[in-house]
Amino acid sequence: MRLLPTIAIAAMSVMVVPAQEAPDNAAWQASITGQIEAFRQEDGASALEFASSGFQVQFDDPQLFYEAVLASGYEPLMHSRSHSFGQFEKLDDENVLQIVLLVGPDQGLYEAIFHMIDEPKGWRVEGVALRREEGIAI
């Protein structure tokens, strides 16, 4: 998965919409949950299905996709204990930035920003930026 450059995220000027005010957020949130659950089960094929077409073209072997994501530092997301959704930014009709709060396997707190893209097969993960937050989960 590609990291979204922090500078690009900070430079985007869009309106943040609280999750409870937008009924269409369930579709992209379902895709995020599907990919996270596939990663938790170490199911590279299912995880790749939730990735954008660019990743699907790049990785013809789902196991290589899984290993590449793991090697890129996403272990806290891939083996997270739980996740919940924060706010999102709808950039346009086909692009959304969704904040996901995670409890990692180390009980650490993490924040992921998922870049979601609406493709013909539905909402897919285009990239993720992950950072550790202060504190631990109890």
Quote the pLDDT of residue 11.
34
Quote the pLDDT of residue 23.
53
Answer whether residue 70 is part of any domain. yes
Quote the pLDDT of residue 24.
74
CA angle in degrees (0–180, nearest 5) for 95-101-103: 140
For 3-46, how does the pLDDT look when each residue is reduced to its tens digit (9 = 90+)? 343 333 333 333 444 544 445 789 999 999 999 999 999 999 99
Residue 24: which domain range?
6-136
Answer whether residue 12 is part of any domain. yes
Answer whether residue 131 is part of any domain. yes
Number of domains in the chain: 1
CATH code at 120? Answer: 3.10.450.50
DSSP 2-28: PPPPHHHHHH----EE-GGG-TTHHHH
Of 12-26, 63-77, 89-103, the one with minimum mean pLDDT is 12-26
Answer whether residue 1 is part of any domain. no
